[in-house]
Amino acid sequence: MLGYFIGLLFSHEDFNKLLLALVLGTAVGIEREFNEKPAGLKTNVLICLGSATFTILSFKVSGPGVDPARIAAQILSGIGFLGAGAIMRDGDRVTGLTTAAIIWIVAAIGMAIGMGHYNVAAMATAGTLVVQLGLGQMDIAMDRLRQRHTFKIVSKPEDRMIEAIGKIFKAHNVRVLDCKVMKKNNLFYSEWWTAGSMKRDELVAHDLLQSDKVIEVTY
């Protein structure tokens, strides 16, 4: 019965396109959801499905003197707003660029499906997953080679506490690249991006945990 009503709404080809958009959007979205990124499973599925739908509609409403690419072209403008909203600046650090790029490529995948270029959509999806899964591990390996790490420290909100933590890093010749501090529930939550050997990091963690003012250290 459900298939009958769907058949009334869409042609067989349109249904297959939207189904494929759902599948490929899910494939990319699962990876983002697993890594707890802002644009997760639902977001990527809806972007892919919406892009495919608008592209299909652009061809259906086209006629003499009507360019079918005009509606599809507006998808890029809309995706630009979504992507811009995902990019955040925190001091000297910029985050969300990868999320914005994923939003952009998922929209392109949906457009390719809507135009009937299934091979292009499938290859773009495969390439996206290879980059996210394969190169993501390469990023981790490169960080290890560069000996860069992140410390997450929960401490009591004592005066000059952050300065004291910085001195511990300095005492063990661990270079602090950046630091972010937030006060919540009457505690200091700080993140420290550092460059130093694992052995030195272990010494830093040991000294931090020896302090009765430090509650938790993760690195």
C-alpha span between 108 and 202 (Å, rounded)? 45
Fold of 146-218: Alpha-Beta Plaits (3.30.70)
**Cα distance between residue 215 and residue 177, in whole Å:** 23
What count of other Cβ atoms lies within 10 Å of the Cβ of residue 103? 25
Reported residue count of the chain is 219
Q: Provide the residue ranges of all domains of the chain, joining segments of one domain with +.
A: 9-143, 146-218
Most confident of 10-19, 79-88, 153-162: 153-162
Of 138, 113, 133, residue with least CA distance to 123: 113
SS3 per residue for the chain: CHHHHHHHHCCHHHHHHHHHHHHHHHHHHHHHHHCCCCCCHHHHHHHHHHHHHHHHHHHHCCCCCCCCHHHHHHHHHHHHHHHHHHCEEECCEEECHHHHHHHHHHHHHHHHHHCCCHHHHHHHHHHHHHHHHHHHHHHHHHHHHCCEEEEEEEECCCCCHHHHHHHHHHHCCCEEEEEEEEEECCEEEEEEEEECCHHHHHHHHHHHHHCCCEEEEEC
pTM: 0.60
For residue 1, what pLDDT is reported?
44
User: Is residue 189 scored above 90 in pLDDT?
Assistant: yes
Q: What is the pLDDT of residues 102-145, one digit of tens each?
A: 888 999 999 999 888 999 999 999 998 888 887 766 766 666 65
Q: What is the band of 39 on the pLDDT scale with cuts at 50, 70, 90?
A: confident
- How do residues 154-179 score in pLDDT, each as one tens digit? 998 888 888 999 999 999 988 898 89
State residue 191's pLDDT score. Answer: 92
Measured in degrees and rounded to the nearest 5, phi and psi for residue 23 equal -70, -50
